[in-house]
Amino acid sequence: MPESGARGMFRRILFLYARLLDLLLVLTVAVIILPVTLQIFARFTDWLPRYIWTEELARFLLVWMIMIGSIIGVREGAHFTVDLFNNLRGRTKAAMDILAAIFVLAMAIVFIVYGWEFTDSAWFRISELAELPLWTIHIAWPIAGVSWLLFQGERVWDDVQVLLHGERKLP
pLDDT tens profile 125-152? 988 777 888 899 999 999 999 999 999 9
Does residue 122 fall inside a structural domain? yes
Does residue 16 fall inside a structural domain? yes
Does residue 25 fall inside a structural domain? yes
The stretch 64-86 carries a mean pLDDT of 86
Q: How many structural domains are present in the chain?
A: 1
The stretch 156-168 carries a mean pLDDT of 87
The stretch 32-47 carries a mean pLDDT of 84
Q: Which range marks the domain in which residue 25 is found?
A: 5-165
Does residue 170 fall inside a structural domain? no
Does residue 11 fall inside a structural domain? yes
User: What's the distance, Cα to Cα, between the start and end of the chain in Å?
Assistant: 9
State how far the Cα of 75 lies from the Cα of 101, in Å rounded to an integer: 12
Name residue 18's amino acid.
Answer: A
| Distant-in-sequence contacts of 44-52, Cβ < 8 A, 24+ apart | 51/129, 52/129
State how far the Cα of 82 lies from the Cα of 127, in Å rounded to an integer: 37
- pLDDT of 83 higher than 50: yes
pLDDT bracket for residue 171 (50, 70, 90): very low
Does residue 44 fall inside a structural domain? yes
**pLDDT, tens digit, 9 for 90 and up, residues 117-129:** 999 998 989 887 7
State how far the Cα of 74 lies from the Cα of 20, in Å rounded to an integer: 15
State how far the Cα of 150 lies from the Cα of 148, in Å rounded to an integer: 5
Does residue 66 fall inside a structural domain? yes
Give whole-number Cα distances, 45 to 39, 40, 42, 49, 50, in Å: 10, 9, 5, 9, 9
Does residue 171 fall inside a structural domain? no
